[in-house]
A = this chain, B = another copy of it.
Amino acid sequence: MAGTEAKKTESKKPAAKQSGGKKKEVKKETGLGLTHRKAENFGEWYSEVVVNAEMIEYYDISGCYILRPWSMAIWEIMQEFFDPEIKKMKIKNCYFPLFVSPGVLQKEKDHVEGFAPEVAWVTKSGESELEIPIAIRPTSETVMYPYYSKWIRGHRDLPLKLNQWCNVVRWEFSNPTPFIRSREFLWQEGHTAFASKEEADAEVLEILELYRRIYEEYLAVPVIKGKKSELEKFAGGLYTTSVEAFIPNTGRGIQGATSHCLGQNFAKMFEINFENEKGERAMVWQNSWAYSTRTIGVMVMVHGDDKGLVLPPKVASVQVIVIPVPYKDADTQGIFDACSATVNTLNEAGIRAESDSRDNYSPGWKYSNWEMKGVPLRIEIGPKDLANKQVRAVRRDNGAKIDIASADLVVEIKKLLDTIQQNLFDVAKQKRDECIQIIHTWDEFVQALNQRKMIFAPWCDEEEVEADVKARTKGEMGAAKTLCSPFDQPELPEGTKCFASGKPATKWTYWGRSY
């Protein structure tokens, strides 16, 4: 994962109450509710949502967060998709140590330069100083590649394809943001070595497609697959591909996951050579690729609303919450029994359903509580529903209420969950696409940037020009930079000029501020 320039973003803990009448009413009634509105104060809203939805807890070490079960379940669901997929590709899981010795860490200068300020060093154990300080991995290239060198001798040892699910540490940076930028995070990192560049190139794209699927099919977040610029690529690598998401409320792009072709640079540094089929000595071609808990933060940012979190059904640990609505003189036990039966029926059909029978909270409180936590579908069962042999379903994404006959429960709930999943994606895609602005001149670029657009521009693909754009847009909000050059390239008419340099443009590239 490439280091990125620090961006200013609001990340304070929930502050004092600030806003309007309606919100006060909600808070007064239930004790729940958010102080900040997404559209008005995105950063504060985000910090508030992730806590109130019980996704994270702030930890007593700044920049470190506790991933509570509500988040961990999402991470596990994504892992349950991704891990079997890479195993089909004959990629095997392993575990390399958390620690790197300094000699190895500094072996590749370009690579380490990007991480050096962020490396955490262990210098003591108990009361004793270590003879040599040891680093905690910010990523595992330098941890692994000395052993790739040892294990790879001949072409039959190739391809060597390993992955690990682990924690990494990147210290000392500004603006910690839960899930998006933290001092410790969870990720998977794949490291593969091939005999030929063709094999490496092919795998880069296969893995990138899996990352697109995680975002689009599981998190319901639209992404753009593309290549990073030379300036933005993984330091020490040959080229970097990524899936880029976009946050309309802030007008910032966010790198969702990366799949890097490292080329032969690390092979050269770590002497990862093999005897090929002709008996000649050759260097391997390598890839590395990763996605992290940042995925969860992107999902929250894209789908959350002023009531709280909004979870896509596919990654919700609770897809359906069933709430009894007792009424005076009504058959309370019958209502509770109907709730239990409903949960059982849904669970047996593979739907993740729970009931909320807590007797110390009102139904209204419960509605707000589960809305805050983002449960995709709420089922209400009251005396009228009981009498009519039906349940009332309420969608979290749009508030729609649907009465469903008990006899059709499973079929209808499954349809609804699929509909919600698709709707979340469609709405997110529409919002993102509305933010895409095609520009051709510098003036248009500046205007679009100030309007929080995702800027699509013809570019000459020169590193110094990107550096110049960054310098010219440097400011309080952070500089603009390339997000990616999409693989799906629209036609570039002959004679099109680069928006920034006036030179002949060679490609279309997305630009903007970034997390």
Q: Which A residues are within 8 Å of any B CB, using their own CB?
A: 57, 59-61, 64-69, 72-73, 75-76, 92-99, 101, 104, 116-128, 133-134, 136, 146-147, 150-151, 156, 162, 166-167, 169, 171-172, 184, 186, 358, 360
Quote the shortest CB–CB distance from A118 to chain B (angstroms). 7
Contact B92 A69 (CB under 8 A): yes
Whole-angstrom distance between the alpha carbons of A504 and B64 in the complex? 54
Contact B57 A99 (CB under 8 A): no
| Nearest 9 Cβ contacts at the A-B interface | A125-B171, A69-B92, A117-B126, A67-B95, A64-B97, A121-B124, A125-B172, A123-B123, A72-B93
Q: What are 19 A-B pairs with beta-carbon distances under 8 A?
A: A57-B151, A59-B96, A61-B99, A64-B97, A67-B95, A67-B96, A72-B94, A73-B92, A73-B93, A76-B93, A95-B186, A97-B184, A98-B167, A116-B126, A120-B122, A123-B124, A124-B133, A125-B171, A126-B171
Quote the shortest CB–CB distance from A2 to chain B (angstroms). 18
From B61, B95, B126, B133, give the contact of A97 (CB < 8 A).
Answer: B61
Whole-angstrom distance between the alpha carbons of A126 and B112 in the complex? 11
* Chain B residues in 8 Å Cβ range of A67: 94-96
Contact A172 B61 (CB under 8 A): no
Contact A66 B147 (CB under 8 A): yes
Quote the shortest CB–CB distance from A32 to chain B (angstroms). 16
Contact A68 B97 (CB under 8 A): no
Whole-angstrom distance between the alpha carbons of A184 and B93 in the complex? 17
Overall SS of chain A's interface? mixed
Whole-angstrom distance between the alpha carbons of A283 and B152 in the complex? 57
From B61, B98, B118, give the contact of A169 (CB < 8 A).
Answer: B98
With both beta carbons as reference points, the residue of chain B lying nearest to A171 in the complex is identified as B125
Whole-angstrom distance between the alpha carbons of A1 and B292 in the complex? 29
**Given A126-B118, A167-B166, A97 and B172 touching (CB < 8 A)?**
no
Whole-angstrom distance between the alpha carbons of A124 and B134 in the complex? 10
Contact A99 B68 (CB under 8 A): no
* Chain B residues in 8 Å Cβ range of A128: 172
| Residue of A57, A95, A136 contacting most chain B CB atoms (<10 Å) | A95
* Chain B residues in 8 Å Cβ range of A61: 97, 99, 101, 134
* Chain B residues in 8 Å Cβ range of A125: 117-121, 171-172
From B59, B101, B167, give the contact of A60 (CB < 8 A).
Answer: B101
Whole-angstrom distance between the alpha carbons of A146 and B92 in the complex? 38
From B72, B120, B147, B169, give the contact of A95 (CB < 8 A).
Answer: B72
* Chain B residues in 8 Å Cβ range of A171: 125-126
Contact B360 A184 (CB under 8 A): no
* Chain B residues in 8 Å Cβ range of A166: 167
* Chain B residues in 8 Å Cβ range of A151: 57
Whole-angstrom distance between the alpha carbons of A118 and B130 in the complex? 12
* Chain B residues in 8 Å Cβ range of A162: 69
With both beta carbons as reference points, the residue of chain B lying nearest to A361 in the complex is identified as B156
From B66, B93, B123, give the contact of A96 (CB < 8 A).
Answer: B66
* Chain B residues in 8 Å Cβ range of A150: 57
From B93, B95, B123, B147, give the contact of A121 (CB < 8 A).
Answer: B123
* Chain B residues in 8 Å Cβ range of A119: 125-126
* Chain B residues in 8 Å Cβ range of A126: 116-119, 171-172
Whole-angstrom distance between the alpha carbons of A401 and B60 in the complex? 61
Given contacts A60-B101, A66-B95, 10 further A-B contacts (CB under 8 A): A60-B104, A69-B92, A69-B93, A72-B92, A98-B184, A118-B125, A120-B122, A120-B125, A122-B123, A125-B171
Quote the shortest CB–CB distance from A168 to chain B (angstroms). 10
From B94, B172, B360, give the contact of A66 (CB < 8 A).
Answer: B94
* Chain B residues in 8 Å Cβ range of A147: 57, 66
* Chain B residues in 8 Å Cβ range of A72: 92-95
Contact B358 A156 (CB under 8 A): yes
* Chain B residues in 8 Å Cβ range of A156: 358, 360
Quote the shortest CB–CB distance from A23 to chain B (angstroms). 25
* Chain B residues in 8 Å Cβ range of A93: 69, 72-73, 76
Whole-angstrom distance between the alpha carbons of A141 and B364 in the complex? 37
Quote the shortest CB–CB distance from A188 to chain B (angstroms). 13
Quote the shortest CB–CB distance from A253 to chain B (angstroms). 27
* Chain B residues in 8 Å Cβ range of A172: 125-126, 128
Contact B120 A59 (CB under 8 A): no
Whole-angstrom distance between the alpha carbons of A236 and B227 in the complex? 54
Contact B57 A97 (CB under 8 A): no
Whole-angstrom distance between the alpha carbons of A120 and B125 in the complex? 4
* Chain B residues in 8 Å Cβ range of A57: 147, 150-151
Whole-angstrom distance between the alpha carbons of A72 and B92 in the complex? 9
Whole-angstrom distance between the alpha carbons of A312 and B146 in the complex? 32
* Chain B residues in 8 Å Cβ range of A123: 121-124
